[in-house]
């Protein structure tokens, strides 16, 4: 684990926990001089809440996806194929959103939390 670095002194009954998004991203950006850190506040020793917040932030940044991708070596040809598939997926999503805005497709049904 990385050593915590404090930007400011913690308030009363508050600890600050810093975690890097992923070791690979850290080394890449550290070489550039910009080290990304996720900042989590632990209030009233509520570690469970801080853990949930950390997990949510890391998922939003795509850290877990990146770590999974770096578990095994990815050949350059596989990397190109993956990037091409991602680009096709993004283009389809953009076209679908554009068609919905123009009224060519019906709007998606709103999701009900916890329902099916």
Q: pLDDT tens across 1-14, in order?
A: 444 444 455 555 55
pLDDT at 1: 45
37 confidence band (pLDDT: 50, 70, 90)? low
Please give the average per-residue pLDDT across 42-61, as a whole number: 88
Q: How far apart are CA 8 and CA 16, in angstroms?
A: 9
Question: What is the rounded (10 degree) CA torsion for 67, 70, 76, 78?
Answer: -70
Q: Which two tokens stand for residue 27?
A: 């080394």
Q: pLDDT tens across 17-33, in order?
A: 555 556 666 667 666 76
99 confidence band (pLDDT: 50, 70, 90)? very high
What 3-state class would DSSP assign to 81?
helix
Higher pLDDT, 22 or 47: 47
Q: pLDDT tens across 54-98, in order?
A: 889 888 888 888 888 888 899 999 999 999 999 999 999 999 999
Please give the average per-residue pLDDT across 27-52, as a whole number: 76
> Domain map of the chain by residue range?
1-72, 75-106
Q: How far apart are CA 14 and CA 41, in angstroms?
A: 7
Q: What are phi and psi of 19, to 5 degrees?
A: -140, 135
What size, in residues, is the chain? Answer: 116
Q: How far apart are CA 88 and CA 34, in angstroms?
A: 31
């Amino acid at each position: 684990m990385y050593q915590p670095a404090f930007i400011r002194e913690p308030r009363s009954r508050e600890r600050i926990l810093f975690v890097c998004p992923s070791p690979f991203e850290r080394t890449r950006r550290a070489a550039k001089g910009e080290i990304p850190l996720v900042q989590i506040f632990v209030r009233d020793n509520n570690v469970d809440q801080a853990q949930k917040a950390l997990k949510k932030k890391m998922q939003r940044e795509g850290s877990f996806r990146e770590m999974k991708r770096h578990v095994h070596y990815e050949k350059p040809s596989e990397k190109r194929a993956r990037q091409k598939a991602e680009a096709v997926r993004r283009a389809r999503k953009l076209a679908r959103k554009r068609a919905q805005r123009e009224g060519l497709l019906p709007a998606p049904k709103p999701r009900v939390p916890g329902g099916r």
